[in-house]
Amino acid sequence: MIIWVLSLGRIVDTVIMNPPFGTRKKGADLDFLSVALKVASQAVYSLHKTSTRDHVKRTALRDFNASSAEVICELRYDVPKMYKFHKKKEVDIAVDLWRFVPAASHQSRNT
């Protein structure tokens, strides 16, 4: 997993991440998204499996209080066999690159 942050204070401006897809531990990607939305003041960019698109959007808006959740790019992600639990030599996965805006960021721009 990669997380890069640009900070101008206590809370970071932007989180860019490639969380685990939640295939081995169901919901792992959403655990990362929840934390990212709590620490980012402007935006979170994150990769998630395309097959979970509706669930990711609904969860971000309803449960994690994001003011917006938008797929900005659809990609193919080739995952090579890296761990013992991987069964295939490689797997091609359809993924979405998302841009989430934390609710506090949206409110501060409108006041």
Confidence of residue 58 (pLDDT cuts 50, 70, 90): very high
Alpha-carbon torsion 83, 86, 88, 91, what sign?
Answer: negative
CATH number for 59 = 3.30.110
The predicted model gives 72-94 an average pLDDT of 84
- At 5 the pLDDT is 52
66 by Cβ neighbours in 10 Å (0-12 / 13-18 / 19+) ranks as buried
The predicted model gives 75-86 an average pLDDT of 80
- The total domain count for the chain is 1
- At 14 the pLDDT is 92
Give the structural domain span for 94.
Answer: 3-110
- Residue % of the chain over a pLDDT of 90: 50
Q: Is the predicted pLDDT of residue 30 greater than 80, yes or no?
A: yes
DSSP state of 22: S
Q: Is the predicted pLDDT of residue 74 greater than 60, yes or no?
A: yes
Spatial separation of the C-alpha atoms in residues 80 and 86, rounded to whole Å = 9
